Amino acid sequence: MEEKRNSFSNSIGFVLAAAGSAVGLGNIWRFPYLAAKDGGGLFLIVYIVLALTFGYTLLVTEVSIGRKTKQSSLTAYGRLNKKWGWIGAVSSAVPFLILPYYCIIGGWVLKYCVTFLTGQGLAAAEDGYFTTFITHPYESIVYDLIFLGLTCFVIYRGVNQGIEKLSRILMPALLVLVIGIAVFSLTLKGGDAHAGRTGMDGFLVYVVPSVDGMGVRDILVVVMDAMGQLFYSISVAMGIMVTYGSYFKDSENLMRSVNQIEIFDTVVAFLAGVMIIPAVYVYMGKEGMTAGPGLMFVAIPKIFAQMGWFGRIIGIIFFVMVFFAALTSSISVLEAVVSGMIDKTGMSRQKATLTEGGIALVLGIIICLGYNLLYFEVKLPNGVAAQILDIVDYVSNNIFMPVVAISTCILIGWIVKPNTVIDEATKNGERFGRKALYVVMLRFVAPVLLFVLFLGSLGIL
C-alpha cells in the first residue's frame, strides 16, 4: 500500500487541507461563546499561550508520526511500538464517533443557509424555530444525508482531486468571508433602542481582559476551557493530523507548515470572535453573550433580523461561510476513518468511503431521532443534561481524546523518546525553534494538564 499512497502535491496543499480540518465549527461556533463566557481578553491570552505551547506540541507530534510511518492513525502507533498500537484504535474511534453527529450539525448549518437564501431569515429569528427543526421526525435527517453525501463525494475522489482541490478553493474563500463579516461587525451602531452601543464597544469587551469577581477556581476554568477548545481547533487526538501527516512529502518543510497551520487556525478563531461578539453586544448587550452553544443557531438569526433587509444578505454570507468551515472539517474526519480502513484491510478508497458513509448515516439517523422519537435525557458526569448527540460527543471528546493525547505524550516522551519526532521534523535540515520547550511540554506539562482536563470531564474536579 505504501507505493500507492497518495500525497499532497506540496506544502501549500497540506497547510490548506490541515487548516481546513482545524478551522471548523469549533472555531466559528465554540470559540466566541467561550471567549464571551470567560472574561474576553483573559480567555484570548490563555488560549494563545496554550496554542504556542500545548497545541504546538501535540500538532508537531502528530504530523511527524504520520509522515514518519506513512500510515493513518489506526496503524501508525503500532509502527512506532507494537505494544502501544492500541492508541491507534482509540484515536480512530474518535472520528468514527464524531462523523455522524458532525454531519448532523453540518446539516443544521445547511438548513439555515437554505432558510436565508429563500428569504426566510425572519422565520429563523422566531423563538422555537431551531427546536422545531431539530425535533421534526425527518427534516434534520434529510439535511444530514445531504451534508454526509457531499463529504463522502470529496473523500471518494481522493487526496489530490478531492481533499486538496476543494481546500484550495474553500479556504481562501472562507478567509475572505470571515474578514469581511468581522469588519462589518466592527462598524455596527445600535442606536437609541440599543443604548447607543457600537461594534467597537463590543470589540473592547472581547479583547480587554476582565477578571472582575473571578477567583483562582474561575481562572482554572478558563484555562481548562481554553485547553479543551484547542482539541476542537487544531484537530489533534482524533487521528486527523496523523493521517494528513502521512500524505505530507518527505522533501517539504514540516516545521514551517505546522507553524502556518497554527497561525491560520488562531487567526480565524480570533476573527470568529470579532464577527460574532461585537454584533451580539450591539443588539443584545452583555446578556446576549451568555447564549452559550445556542449562540449561532438562536441568537445570531435574531441579530440579522434586527438589521432589516441587509440582515438577510449578511445572514446568507455568514451561514455560507460556516458551511464551508463545517464541510472542510467533516471531510478530514471522514478521511481519518477511511484512511485507517485502507491501511488496515487493504480495501479500495471507494469501498471504504461507501462503507463508512453507510455506517455514519445509520448512526446519524439514530442521533437525529434522539431529539424526537428516541428522546431521553441523562445527566453526564460533568453535570451536563444530555441527549444521544451529547452522549456521543462526551465519550469521543471528553474521554477518548484526552486518553489518546496523554498516551501519545507518554509514548513519544518516554518510550520512543522525543528525538523520534525531532529527527523527523528536521530531516531536511530545518530548525526546530522551540525544541527545549517541546521536550518539557511533551514529557511533563502537557500530560499533567491533560490529566487535569480529563478529571474535570469526569466530574472529579
Range of lowest pLDDT (182-191, 279-288, 390-399): 279-288
How many angstroms separate the most distant Cα atoms in the chain? 67
pLDDT in the model for residue 242: 97
How far out from the chain centre does Cα 98 lie? 11
Which residue carries 474536579 as its cell?
A: 461
pLDDT in the model for residue 236: 92
345 residue type, one letter: T
Task: Summarize pLDDT for 333-369 with one digit per residue, the tens.
Answer: 999 999 999 999 999 999 999 999 999 999 999 999 9
For residues 209-214, give the mean pLDDT. Answer: 83
- Helices 309-345, 86-117: crossing angle, 10 deg rounding: 150
- Model confidence at 210, pLDDT cuts 50, 70, 90, reads confident
Task: Summarize pLDDT for 379-410 with one digit per residue, the tens.
Answer: 999 888 899 999 999 999 989 999 999 999 99
User: Domains, the chain, ranges and CATH?
Assistant: 2-457 (1.10.4160.10)
440 residue type, one letter: V
- Model confidence at 292, pLDDT cuts 50, 70, 90, reads low
CA–CA separation, 318 and 300 (whole Å):
10
For residues 315-328, give the mean pLDDT. Answer: 94
CA–CA separation, 140 and 43 (whole Å):
34
pLDDT in the model for residue 37: 85
Residue 446, pLDDT > 70, answer yes
pLDDT in the model for residue 78: 97
CA–CA separation, 354 and 83 (whole Å):
31
For residues 304-317, give the mean pLDDT. Answer: 91
For residues 407-416, give the mean pLDDT. Answer: 98
- Model confidence at 298, pLDDT cuts 50, 70, 90, reads confident
- For residue 90, which of 77, 104, 71, 103 has the smallest C-alpha distance? 77
CA–CA separation, 24 and 197 (whole Å):
30
Residue 2, pLDDT > 50, answer no
CA–CA separation, 257 and 255 (whole Å):
5
Q: Which residues contact 409 (CB under 8 A, 6 or more apart)?
A: 57, 61, 442, 443, 446, 447, 450
Residue 307, pLDDT > 60, answer yes
pLDDT in the model for residue 291: 67
CA–CA separation, 283 and 194 (whole Å):
6
For residues 414-433, give the mean pLDDT. Answer: 96
CA–CA separation, 39 and 76 (whole Å):
40
User: 3-state SS of the chain?
Assistant: CHHHCCCCCCHHHHHHHHHHHHCCHHHHHHHHHHHHHCCEHHHHHHHHHHHHHHHHHHHHHHHHHHHHHCCCHHHHHHHHCHHHCHHHHHHHHHHHHHHHHHHHHHHHHHHHHHHHHCCCHHHHCCCCHHHHHHHCCCHHHHHHHHHHHHHHHHHHCCHHHHHHHHHHHHHHHHHHHHHHHHHHHHCCECCHHHCCCEHHHHHHHHHCECCCCCCHHHHHHHHHHHHHHHHHHHCCCCCHHHHHHHCCCCCCCHHHHHHHHHHHHHHHHHHHHHHHHHHHHHHHHHHHCCCHHHHCCCHHHHHHHHCCHHHHHHHHHHHHHHHHHHHHHHHHHHHHHHHHHHHHHCCCHHHHHHHHHHHHHHHHHHHHHCCCCCCCCEECCCCCEECHHHHHHHHHHHHHHHHHHHHHHHHHHHHCCCHHHHHHHCCCCCCCCCHHHHHHHHHHHHHHHHHHHHHHHCCCC
Q: Which residues contact 198 (CB under 8 A, 6 or more apart)?
A: 188, 189, 190, 282
Residue 391 and residue 378 in contact, taking contact as beta carbons nearer than 8 Å: yes
For residues 245-271, give the mean pLDDT. Answer: 94
Name the percent of the chain lying above pLDDT 70.
98
Task: Summarize pLDDT for 5-22 with one digit per residue, the tens.
Answer: 788 988 999 999 988 888
Residue 24, pLDDT > 60, answer yes
pLDDT in the model for residue 1: 37
The predicted model scores a pTM of: 0.95
Range of lowest pLDDT (122-126, 371-375, 379-383): 379-383
For residues 172-197, give the mean pLDDT. Answer: 89
Task: Summarize pLDDT for 129-147 with one digit per residue, the tens.
Answer: 999 999 998 999 999 999 9
pLDDT in the model for residue 459: 85
pLDDT in the model for residue 3: 42
Mean residue pLDDT across the chain: 92
pLDDT in the model for residue 70: 96
Name the percent of the chain lying above pLDDT 90.
75
